[in-house]
Amino acid sequence: MEKCYTVAETVKLTGVKSYVLRYWEDELSLPIRRNELGHRCYTQDDIQLFLNIKELKEQRLAAFGRYMIFFQSLQKKRRNGSNRAGRKG
């Protein structure tokens, strides 16, 4: 039988908070095993999946951050350009 990781172990291995693991489990309909006591039992494949999801989210946030910096610089240029255009000298 494959090793079973507890929620606490999975949190340590992935760096993802337990409530986020549960959220992803629900939102993505992940078939997480349960042990005989009904506790979540994560496999190495589950942990790898969580790491992949985390990486994708971080890449998406990084891309969004770059977009926001670009957008803000455009807004700043437009404001500066409109100030110059309105002045007569």
Report pTM: 0.71
**pLDDT for 4 beyond 80:** yes
Residue 6: CB atoms within 10 Å: 13
pLDDT in tens, 5-57: 999 999 999 999 999 999 999 998 999 999 999 999 999 999 999 999 999 88
